[in-house]
Amino acid sequence: MSAAHNLLDTLYCDGTKARGNPGLYIFESMTKPLRKRDEYIHFKARDRCQQRQPNHWKTDESYGYTEQEWIHWYKHNPLVGADITELNNQWRKDFFGTPEMTGGMKSHTQQRIIELERLGKRWSKKQARESRRGAWKAYLHQECIQLRQLALMFLIYPVSACDELLECWAAYMTTDEYKTEVKRSKKIKPEDIQAVADREAQRQLARNVHKIRNDLRRMRSLDDQTSTDPHRVAASNNGLQYVPARLTCSCDRTLWSEYQNGVMVSKLNDLTGQHGYGRLYFHDDNNVLTSMQIGSNRMQLSKATKDPDCYFFPPQIQES
């Protein structure tokens, strides 16, 4: 309950909305993500239970886990990977397909999106995507007390982690990182020349980051494909520099050289640090290139919940 008090004190300094039961107010505001998560848990448990295959060694048992065991596991562990994407996409699909009278997208917005998609032009498709995204964000903004990111955290993490999520979010809202994120996301007026110039510089920085990141992905893929090339093995044994034969352009050869000597990763990290959001790349103890997210609200909350990095199989339910 104290976590709900702290969050509401941070959100509303006058405390007008914190009167009564703050915990109840928070959970009522997060009812939608909590209900969607519970629906997804039961659906996924049934689906995975139906996929169980018979055990050929013991005719009275099956491979996998029962429906109740999956529900028990999901209720005590956060969603990861494809589960997060599937649940988020399903929630969006339900919102777009639900009539306005029952809490879905507004009819005039839906009709405008349909008309834009019907045109089939590049600009119309872009406007349709932006309208869908804007309607979805506005819906979460309205339903979840203006805390869209926190609502997504309630969607991912189990109910047992709610107090830690609220405590972490209240602390995060008082940091300089949060203030920077709020400033970056605010709309600017066209007559504010300095703000427009700063926004354009930030966008150009983001474009540069995307370009180098795409180059890094391409070079990493090429590195994996040529790992068993006999010419590369021979060059390594003779202490010579290897360049893939398919790189006929001088610019691609330069990129390969920067990738091999670490200049590309260094450039990407510098630009990402200036931008303040993205992934920093580094080599671990085994000399494997890995990455770390910075500027992410989800990462801030993940640190607070102290969850392990990987989740494997649900534990067997202990009969009381």
SS (H, E, C) 107-149: HHHHHHHHHHHHHCCHHHHHHHHHHHHHHHHHHHHHHCCCCHH
Closest CA to 1 of 163, 219, 211: 163
Question: Tokens standing for 68?
Answer: 């109740």
| pLDDT of 190 higher than 90 | no
Torsion of CA 224, 229, 231, 237, to 10 degrees: 70
d(CA 67, CA 73): 10
Decide: 294 and 276 in contact? Cβ < 8 Å: yes
* Residue found by looking up tokens 């920067």 in the block: 258
d(CA 268, CA 203): 15
pLDDT of residue 219: 92
d(CA 2, CA 99): 38
| pLDDT of 206 higher than 80 | yes
The per-residue pLDDT for range 106-161, each reduced to its tens digit, is 888 888 998 998 998 899 999 999 998 888 888 888 777 667 777 888 888 888 87
Alpha helices in the chain (DSSP H): 2-11, 22-29, 31-50, 67-74, 82-97, 107-119, 122-143, 148-156, 162-172, 176-185, 193-225, 230-237, 250-260, 263-275, 297-305
Give the pLDDT mean for 268-278: 84
Per-residue confidence at 64, pLDDT binned at 50, 70, 90? low
Query: Is the model more confident about 147 or about 39?
Result: 39
Question: Tokens standing for 234?
Answer: 């021979």
d(CA 202, CA 221): 29
Count of other CB atoms within 10 angstroms of residue 196: 13
